[in-house]
A = this chain, B = another copy of it.
């Protein structure tokens, strides 16, 4: 049954139960697992860890590519397995533990985790647990729906557990392109020069003797939870499409645009959807997660090629795509996140990067991670890798949240993930602010005129005018700069009037 998937005969004797394999992981260890945006995570071994810890408590440092599916972060948190977690997560239970200071969370640029590992700036990985569709005749590991950090985890770990997932289609084989940068200081250029450059191997090359356990699983990936476009996200998409039209008219872009990156979440997904009815064609993507919108753009004949490091689809789209994967296979590639997000490649290709902000401020600083400056949402993810090096660094958000009690456009962001130096374009349902080449006071006027919700515009205008009267290159009133967030914490709304009773 699994023999055609464990092709190196010597490894067939290593097949064991998840619980047995999980014994390799002991208290205090560092474990690197596959998984990126709830795609391709190891499923059986983490479950076995949670089960064991419920009886015999122990804890580990867990590194992944990005978020895990199948509620694994929840179960691992509840079982107390997570002492430390990096570099990204999206789970409600884990988030609470992080915000309570119970799990130490290291929020990292997604291109950097394995660079730090390779340079021994993080504790070494004791055990890697990698989901695979197959192990090749050479002992190479063929990943499933994500590559994430799996390749470097497997290569750098002392021991490797491979989870062969029988529910992941064998047609995934050949989709991956595994390339590992050479060691510094003798590193050579990373040879990606187009979105479709194939530069590595279709499997993770490791010494097969490091594979100490093979576990067979069948659990499917969790489906994506992105919401369908709504009026606000459609408005955001419209503003962006007309901005791109302007760029084409000005000769700064062609109708192919430039390789697109779109962040996680509902807003970015629906912005990409907006391109289906745009005048652009023959587009390409150089992104992280390939969401529904990528395949809808293929189906609409708009997209020529997409490079990513994972595929996460809704239930609807999942069946469509995976039942017909060969139709897409010569148009997609999955790379390690170090390569999909690499500053070198992103700067070279000239990406259009579209990421979602929690909030941004008058001067173009963006908060992607911290609610009211203190409570972690998910993490910075790849947004910094892309925004810093993009041809266009675009951040989108709805102008208000929580029924209007929150303005996502504020005097000063309560946490900075992307500085004013790294942000070109801001878009809300209200409109688009083009900040390129502007000084802070000029940016503020654009943000007030185009992005803030009308309910908050007078309040923001008033702050800005009083701050300008006080002076400075970036005018602020220190005593009031964070007062909107304080009001939200204390009175439940950022509005200056008394909040209405709920």
Q: Which residues of A contact B (CB under 8 A)?
A: 84, 86, 98-101, 104-109, 116, 119-123, 184-191, 193-194, 250-252, 258-259, 342-344, 347-350, 365, 370, 372-376, 380, 384, 388-389, 391, 412, 414-422, 424, 436-439, 441-442, 467-468, 470-476, 478-479, 481-482, 485-486, 489
Contacts and interface: CB of A to CB of B under 8 A. Distances in A.
Given A106-B437, A120-B251, A473-B375, A347 B344 contact: yes
A388 B388 CA distance: 9
B250 A374 contact: no
A388 B421 CA distance: 13
B473 A374 contact: yes
Contacts of A194: 185
A258 B191 contact: no
A123 B250 CA distance: 12
B441 A481 contact: no
Contacts of A424: 121
Given A184-B348, A349-B184, A474 B415 contact: yes
23 contacts: A101-B468, A101-B475, A104-B441, A104-B442, A105-B473, A109-B422, A120-B252, A185-B194, A185-B258, A185-B350, A344-B347, A344-B348, A365-B416, A370-B472, A370-B474, A375-B471, A375-B472, A376-B473, A416-B416, A417-B419, A417-B421, A418-B419, A478-B486
Contacts of A442: 104
A476 B190 contact: no
Given A344-B343, A472-B374, A122 B415 contact: no
A99 B373 contact: no
A167 B55 CA distance: 80
B438 A106 contact: yes
Contacts of A384: 419, 421
B105 A474 contact: no
A386 B241 CA distance: 34
Contacts of A109: 421-422
Given A478-B372, A479-B486, A421 B123 contact: no
B350 A187 contact: yes
A370 B473 contact: yes
Contact of A473 (B99, B121, B348): B99
A104 to B, nearest CB: 4
Contacts of A420: 107
Contacts of A474: 370, 373-374, 376, 415
A444 B360 CA distance: 25
B121 A437 contact: yes
A193 B184 contact: no
B391 A119 contact: yes
A83 to B, nearest CB: 10
A121 B439 contact: no
A171 to B, nearest CB: 30
A321 to B, nearest CB: 27
Contacts of A417: 419, 421
A475 B119 contact: no
